[in-house]
Structure 1
Amino acid sequence: MNGKKILFVSSELVPYLPENPVSLMSYETPRMVNSNGGQIRIFMPRFGNINERRHQLHEVIRLSGMNLVINDMDMPLIIKVASIPRERIQVYFIDNEEYFKRKATFTDEEGTLFPDNDERAIFFAKGVVETVKKLNWSPDIIHVHGWMASLLPLYLRKYYADEPIFQDSKIVTSVYGQGFDGTLDTGMMDKVLFDGVDKEAVAPLSEPSYNNLLKVAVDFSDAVILASENLPEELSSHIAGLEKPVLDYVPVQGFEEAYGKFYTEEVLN
């Protein structure tokens, strides 16, 4: 991994949010690349339940200030950064008052999905791409973790298809068994179509379930990592039908060699 540039885009990340399979691997994988001589950038949403004072988040004025259009609305993009103690790893946070100020991640106190989670996912995908463009940092690999990051492959390959900074980037999506029940807003597909993405590309989003979001993610990825031992059968079957590299599940205790080899021998070749 020496000298390779890898962009990690995740819904969740320890130590900023509680540990679960997504947040743990979103930390361990960049830590592995960093310790093996790779260059990394990590992006996640700045959820309102992240303690900014304790984790020493601060706004980066030169990266903030632009508006992103979400379903014909101008939404201001705010970028904050923090460093993970001991690891010397910097994390970029995508923020917006309306989408991320609430003191929760994906659901309210009753466990009901927030009605604007679809718009939050679109905003997150666009915010990551626009910020990486401002950084003028061209990644060799873009590794996606978690369903709120799942629109990134689609937007990179369709909405940002002509961006030269990503022309040679390979996209890897880690697929987890942990998702959500029900669906996001049923108007999600129309909001993506508003951005000029062709209808055929986002057909699964007519029913924006967890499985269908991840189907779209893997369809526009160059490689897939099975990050959970047990995946929904519908998702497993879809991935099995893809003609692209797939890394079978590897426990966190022994993932480093397998992921490193997959990056270098399957993704970058």
Structure 2
Amino acid sequence: MKIAMVAYEVYPFAKVGGLADVVGALPKVIEKQGAKVTLFMPFHRVVQKNCSKLGLTVESVAKSIPVPSLQTLEKFDLYKSHLPGSNTTVYFVANEYYFSAENVYEGPDLAEQAIFFSNASLEAMKYLSETFDLVHAHDWQTALVPVYLRTLYRTDPFFSKTATVFTIHNLGYQGIFSPQYIKFAGLPSYLFNIDGLEFYGQMNLLKGGILFSDVVTTVSPTYAQEIQTEQFGEKLDGVLRLKAEDLYGILNGIDYSEYDPATDKRIFANYDIEHIENKKVNKRELQKQLGLQLREEAALIGMINRLVDQKGLDLVEKVADLMMMFDVQFVVLGTGDKKYEEFFMRLKEKYPDRVSSNIKFDIDLAQKIYAASDMFLMPSRYEPCGLGQMYSLRYGTIPIVRYTGGLADSVREYDPKTREGNGFGFREYDTAHLLESIAKAVYFYKHEKAHWVQIVKNAMSSDVSWERSAKQYMRVYQEALKKRKF
């Protein structure tokens, strides 16, 4: 099976969030199932910098390829490299006007960028004369790929046997724009209706991806059920219920070759499940680096997040002072809403040798926090999948989560009677239940050492690898080929 994956960010070429990690890891495990994967992504400015750092060669493939369907004279150049650790070729769609911003999700017009990239990816496939059994598009920036394949390219012999899979990574981001962009996209005007791209008077790209794909996936089984409800459906729950027979939830994984405490060069000291004591070295060295008290007995709680409402930070803000009444230290890494950035800086000022607030994006520091922390806080209001809890499990750092979405699918409450479970959590979204979960974790850390060692070993034994999900994706791909609507 030949698969084309289309995504706006791919690790290690460009990374803003978990999407990049997913698309950077999935092709490697899909290859092991016997499929051939080819990636298409924009040639963001940061791509060349990252390729240079990694020693990856970027080759020019073609210049000035037109995109005839669009109401624009802009053309694109095509470059290629390869995904490290795989046989996957990566093609970069380059255009100075649309993809020259310093940040991946910035530019002159976000709608035009997404439309241009979606259509240019299909034109790139045609230029390469490489047919694919299936195109797998990720998130709203690529949602028009299946729309194009079902409309403008419907009778194109090149794509006559191509099935489509569309993955929703976060339903909260849909790509909602003025209906004027339908004309720019060169799409027929009849698509602007309730059964097409129309959404409360606007054009909704994500809705198009859902409706026009053969199969839709999202990033955890629980989230697949949640988004069909009014509470989590972001006004698309009705559309998703209509698509229920073609909607699958597949839990994301993490790349074990990239995230391994036994070999990770970004942490202070390597360790594994048989040498957990070496984890203490990471804690001590991080305390030194961040100016925290050098106290092994204090429970070190880490949090690495986009600082936005979705991540449950309103709860954290309300319980912070109560949490600090326990014998804990707290390390935060991330950027986001100004109100939360300012709150965490005030918290650091209030507890200067117990709180470290790092308002930035720093991959190396993130790894050190995963390795050094005793616990990892993730009380999300909703969480499609979440990768933070998976990294923490891999590094023996015990997650404290709200059981929603992928958090509910990957973290299991520790039961001291059976000695099973790999974390702590709560279901009701309120401060009392969050504080209770934190208190429970701190109690086991400080007063039940044998149980704590068991929890850490359970965490590190948890299967959060991609191998677990690869077979599910292959089954979904086969289902998409059966459902092909051409």
User: Relative to 1, partners in 2 of residues 1:196 and 1:251: Cα closer, same or farther, differing over 3 Å?
Assistant: closer
The reply on whether 1:202 has 2:201 as its aligned counterpart is: no
C-alpha displacement of 1:119? 0.9
Q: Which TM-score applies when normalising by structure 2?
A: 0.48
- Tell me if the contact between 1:117 and 1:184 (Cα under 8 Å) persists in the aligned partners: no
**SS state of the match for residue 225, structure 1?**
strand
- Cα distance in 2 for partners of 1:205, 1:82 equals 41
- Cα distance in 2 for partners of 1:90, 1:248 equals 27
C-alpha displacement of 1:235? 3.1
C-alpha displacement of 1:7? 0.8
C-alpha displacement of 1:16? 1.3
The reply on whether 1:12 has 2:9 as its aligned counterpart is: yes
- Tell me if the contact between 1:116 and 1:185 (Cα under 8 Å) persists in the aligned partners: no
The reply on whether 1:94 has 2:93 as its aligned counterpart is: yes
The reply on whether 1:137 has 2:136 as its aligned counterpart is: no
**SS state of the match for residue 67, structure 2?**
strand
- Tell me if the contact between 1:57 and 1:80 (Cα under 8 Å) persists in the aligned partners: no
Alignment of 1:23-172 (within 5 A): 23-50=20-47, 51=49, 52-54=51-53, 56=56, 58-61=58-61, 63-69=62-68, 72-107=71-106, 114=107, 116-172=109-165
C-alpha displacement of 1:168? 1.2
| Larger deviation, residues 89-98 vs 50-59 | 50-59
Q: Which has the higher contact order (CA 8 A, sep 6+)?
A: 1
- Cα distance in 2 for partners of 1:236, 1:31 equals 32
Aligned residue for 1:110? none
* CA offsets 1:196-227 (integer angstroms, 9 cap, x no match): 4533443239424xxx3211101110001112
Query: Which has the higher Rg, Structure 1 or Structure 2?
Result: 2
| Larger deviation, residues 66-75 vs 24-33 | 66-75
* CA offsets 1:54-97 (integer angstroms, 9 cap, x no match): 35453434x33222257532102111111122223210011101
C-alpha displacement of 1:126? 1.5
Note the aligned Cα RMSD (angstroms). 2.5
C-alpha displacement of 1:167? 0.9
**SS state of the match for residue 102, structure 1?**
coil
The aligned amino acid for 2:26 is T
- Tell me if the contact between 2:174 and 2:207 (Cα under 8 Å) persists in the aligned partners: no
1:176 to 152, 169, 174: 169
C-alpha displacement of 1:195? 4.1
- Cα distance in 2 for partners of 1:15, 1:216 equals 29
| Larger deviation, residues 118-127 vs 238-247 | 238-247
- Cα distance in 1 for partners of 2:174, 2:36 equals 36
The aligned amino acid for 1:125 is S
- Cα distance in 2 for partners of 1:40, 1:248 equals 21
- Cα distance in 2 for partners of 1:181, 1:195 equals 18
1:259 to 441, 460, 473: 473
The reply on whether 1:216 has 2:208 as its aligned counterpart is: yes
The aligned amino acid for 1:172 is V
- Tell me if the contact between 1:205 and 1:213 (Cα under 8 Å) persists in the aligned partners: no
The aligned amino acid for 1:235 is L
Segments of 5+ residues of structure 2 without an aligned counterpart are 254-463
* CA offsets 1:13-58 (integer angstroms, 9 cap, x no match): 1111226332122122221221222112110111122225335453
| Percent pairwise identity | 23
User: Relative to 1, partners in 2 of residues 1:134 and 1:181: Cα closer, same or farther, differing over 3 Å?
Assistant: closer
C-alpha displacement of 1:175? 0.8
**SS state of the match for residue 77, structure 1?**
strand
**SS state of the match for residue 216, structure 2?**
strand
C-alpha displacement of 1:240? 1.7
User: Relative to 1, partners in 2 of residues 1:260 and 1:80: Cα closer, same or farther, differing over 3 Å?
Assistant: same
- Tell me if the contact between 2:174 and 2:206 (Cα under 8 Å) persists in the aligned partners: no
- Cα distance in 1 for partners of 2:94, 2:15 equals 19
| Larger deviation, residues 138-147 vs 23-32 | 23-32
Aligned residue for 1:246? 247
* CA offsets 1:135-187 (integer angstroms, 9 cap, x no match): 22221111111221111111111111121121111100011226548844563
C-alpha displacement of 1:248? 1.9
**SS state of the match for residue 21, structure 2?**
helix
**SS state of the match for residue 44, structure 2?**
coil
- Cα distance in 2 for partners of 1:66, 1:205 equals 35
- Cα distance in 1 for partners of 2:205, 2:34 equals 33
Aligned residue for 2:481? 268
- Tell me if the contact between 1:250 and 1:258 (Cα under 8 Å) persists in the aligned partners: no
